[in-house]
């Protein structure tokens, strides 16, 4: 394996890092320049080859000594953490949140918003838009994910049922006006006007994700025909099969598992038991995406209280719970913790889990420059200790905590 972009002078070289592969780890050297990966070669090959970067004296070298290297983790579904919600729109809180995420090896996220009125969504999108993009030492906000309000009241989960509705003309105007920062919308295809909205999302380059839906196979198929390409958190907010006389009719869950769409799981060990996680792994395979669905309660102590829109939640037994109900209020677990759970506790292959957190979510976003270790890709990288805790993080080619000093 030898690959490189045209000749560069690296800013940083990582030597003897291990990329997990299906047939075993591959030890590589990685050269970085101007925030991009410029060469990846097997350790022992000469990076000074004719078309490879020139390494001069004084170029920093990280001796990985065989440590696992991966792209930075990508979370498509994250509402907040460390006491901050993206919906608050607080620049200082978002800065602290994204700095803390970067320390955990999470380099890219979608800022997810819960259901609200058109006016409230407009205000939240406006407040967050300025934070979309990359910042030194922070996780990049790739865009904004509207989880609702075009969801089924029967599958509301932690969303306020009073906020859920079919799309209005005002909603369509808002989405068209804010198409640039919007990257995903979760919606229920059985609601009036939603298939048309899905088609409009496709035209605008916004990923339409099916979720919080009480529909059936026909509704799912109508959503896919209109342009839906992704499924929001399997089992959570999804109808299952029903019977019409002797006939079994697939619900959104079964339709999702049998489809060719990418689909999410919340792998916090709370939302789904190991059997369902394994069923998702076998059914969805290389289209499976691990998301946190993390809330402001992530990184906060037991008993911490936080809002999800107008719904009040608390951290209880390591997960978010809606006050006064036996309903999950999002998770309090971040992707790096889910990585350890899936690999160490459930025995999933490391290369598979990393793909679920890097290259597959990047593909959902249509970002070929993210989630891979190859020339031309963003130099967002993580070195992992043997216990899969973070050893070192590189964001945009800069060593976190060395080149940048986060708060």
Query: For residue 49, what pLDDT band results from cuts at 50, 70 and 90?
Result: very low
Average pLDDT, the chain: 95
Q: Tell me 180's DSSP state.
A: T
Contacts of 262 by beta carbon, 8 Å cutoff, 6+ apart: 229, 230, 231, 284, 287, 288, 289, 360, 363, 364
Min mean pLDDT across 5-19, 66-80, 195-209 is at: 5-19
Whether the per-residue pLDDT at 154 is higher than 70: the answer is yes
Which pLDDT does position 394 carry in this prediction? 98
Which CATH homologous superfamily contains domain 12-70+374-400?
Answer: Urease, subunit C, domain 1 (2.30.40.10)
Mark the binding-site residues for Zn(2+), compressed into ranges.
147, 212, 233
Cβ atoms < 10 Å from Cβ of 375: 19
Per-residue pLDDT reduced to its tens digit, 98-110 = 999 999 999 999 9
Strand residue runs (E) in 256-356: 262-266, 288-291, 305-308, 311-316, 319-322
Task: List, by residue number, the catalytic residues.
Answer: 293
Whether the per-residue pLDDT at 403 is higher than 80: the answer is no
Strand residue runs (E) in 212-268: 230-231, 242-244, 247-249, 262-266
Residues of the chain with CATH 2.30.40.10: 12-70+374-400
Per-residue pLDDT reduced to its tens digit, 264-278 = 999 999 999 999 999
CA separation for the pair 376, 345 (Å, rounded): 35
Which pLDDT does position 3 carry in this prediction? 57
Which pLDDT does position 407 carry in this prediction? 37
Q: Tell me 378's DSSP state.
A: B
Whether the per-residue pLDDT at 405 is higher than 60: the answer is no
Cβ atoms < 10 Å from Cβ of 56: 8
Matching CATH number, 72-365, of 3.20.20.140, 1.10.150.120, 3.40.50.620, 3.30.70.1170: 3.20.20.140
Q: pTM to 2 decimals?
A: 0.95
72 near 381, Cβ under 8 Å?
yes
Whether the per-residue pLDDT at 402 is higher than 90: the answer is no
Contacts of 326 by beta carbon, 8 Å cutoff, 6+ apart: none
Per-residue pLDDT reduced to its tens digit, 200-247 = 999 999 999 999 999 999 999 999 999 999 999 999 999 999 999 999
Strand residue runs (E) in 82-161: 84-85, 106-113, 140-147
Taking CB atoms within 8 Å and a gap of at least 24, the contacts of 19-23 are: 19/68, 19/69, 19/70, 19/373, 20/68, 20/70, 20/349, 20/350, 20/351, 20/354, 21/351, 22/349, 22/351
64 near 37, Cβ under 8 Å?
no
Give the CA dihedral 81, 84, 88, 93, nearest 10 degrees: -120
Query: For residue 406, what pLDDT band results from cuts at 50, 70 and 90?
Result: very low
Mark the binding-site residues, compressed into ranges.
147, 212, 233
């Amino acid at each position: 394996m030898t690959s490189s972009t045209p000749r560069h002078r690296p800013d940083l070289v990582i030597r003897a890092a291990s990329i997990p592969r299906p047939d075993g780890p591959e030890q590589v050297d990685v050269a970085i320049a101007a925030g991009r990966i410029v060469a990846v070669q097997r350790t022992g090959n000469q990076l000074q080859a004719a078309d490879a970067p020139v390494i001069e004296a004084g170029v920093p070298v990280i001796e990985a000594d065989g440590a696992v290297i991966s792209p930075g983790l990508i979370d498509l579904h994250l509402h907040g953490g460390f006491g901050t919600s993206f919906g608050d729109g607080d620049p200082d809180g978002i800065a602290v949140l994204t700095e803390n995420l970067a320390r955990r090896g999470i380099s890219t996220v979608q800022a997810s918003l819960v259901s609200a009125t058109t006016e409230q969504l407009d205000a939240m999108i406006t407040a967050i838009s300025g934070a979309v993009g990359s910042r030194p030492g922070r996780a990049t906000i790739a865009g904004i994910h509207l989880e609702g309000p075009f969801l089924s009241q029967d599958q509301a989960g932690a969303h306020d049922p009073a906020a859920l509705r079919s799309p209005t003309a005002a909603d369509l105007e808002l989405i068209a006006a804010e198409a640039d920062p919007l990257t995903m919308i979760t919606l229920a295809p059985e609601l009036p006007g939603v298939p048309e909205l899905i088609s409009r999302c496709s035209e605008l380059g916004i990923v339409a994700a099916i979720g919080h839906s009480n529909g059936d196979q026909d509704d799912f198929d109508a959503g896919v025909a209109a342009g839906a390409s992704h499924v929001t958190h399997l089992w959570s907010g999804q109808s299952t099969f029903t019977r019409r006389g002797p006939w079994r009719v697939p619900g959104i869950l079964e339709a999702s598992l049998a489809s060719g769409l990418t689909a999410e799981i919340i792998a916090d060990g709370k939302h789904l038991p190991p059997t369902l996680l394994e069923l998702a792994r076998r059914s969805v395979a290389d289209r499976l995406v691990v998301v946190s669905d993390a809330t402001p309660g992530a990184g906060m102590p037991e008993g911490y209280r936080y809002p999800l829109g107008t719904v009040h939640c608390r951290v209880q037994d390591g997960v978010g719970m809606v006050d006064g109900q036996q309903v999950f209020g999002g998770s309090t677990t971040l992707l790096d913790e889910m990585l350890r759970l899936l690999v160490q506790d459930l025995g999933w292959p490391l290369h598979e889990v990393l793909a679920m957190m890097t290259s597959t979510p990047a593909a959902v976003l249509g970002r070929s420059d993210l989630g891979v270790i190859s020339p031309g890709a963003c130099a967002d990288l993580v070195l992992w200790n043997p216990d899969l805790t973070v050893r070192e993080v590189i964001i945009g080619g800069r060593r976190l905590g060395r080149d940048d000093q986060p708060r």
